Amino acid sequence: MEILQPPGWARPRGYSNGVAASGRLVCVSGMIGWDAEGVFHTDDFAGQVRQALLNIVAVLKEAGAGPEHIVRMTWYVVDKNEYVAAYKEVGAVYREIIGAHYPAMTAVQVAALIEDRARVEIEVTAVAPGDGRAV
């Protein structure tokens, strides 16, 4: 995996401008802050981020991949201000679950998510080592 940083560009904080990778493509659907049984345990933004990231890691594991293989993340939030206010807590949760790995990332405020109680939805693209065949 190669982080793409054009010469002279300011270094981004918490994400990369681009990533190049080769291997087995893994696409993870948007994950929200409920557990494996579809139950929410919190309405706290950072708490839902924690669960969504844990869900992502669980799906990646099924493909023989881990957080270090993530090349792109898209975050959909229902309230930009809530997201910004939780930066510190979200950063701590992110580093705990994903580590010091910062892929290409986009965050978008949306009018609503399909699950009314969801505060955030995160989708991921990863590139795991391998030849593309199912493990």
**Please, what is the average pLDDT of the chain?**
95
Give the CATH number, domain containing residue 32: 3.30.1330.40
Does 118 reside within a domain? Answer: yes
Task: Take residue 20 and report the two structure tokens written for it.
Answer: 């190049």
Domain range for 98? 17-128
β-pair type (120-128, 18-20): unpaired
CA gap 48, 39 in Å, rounded: 11
At 134 the pLDDT is 52
Residue-wise pLDDT for 70-128, tens only, equals 999 999 999 999 999 999 999 999 999 999 999 999 999 999 999 999 999 999 999 99
Task: Take residue 132 and report the two structure tokens written for it.
Answer: 């593309």
Does 69 reside within a domain? Answer: yes
Section 63-70 average pLDDT = 97
At 135 the pLDDT is 46
Q: Which of 105, 108, 90 is nearest to 51 (CA)?
A: 90
In this prediction the pTM is 0.92
Task: Say if residue 133's pLDDT is above 80.
Answer: no
Q: How many residues does the chain have?
A: 135
Task: Say if residue 33's pLDDT is above 50.
Answer: yes
Number of domains in the chain: 1
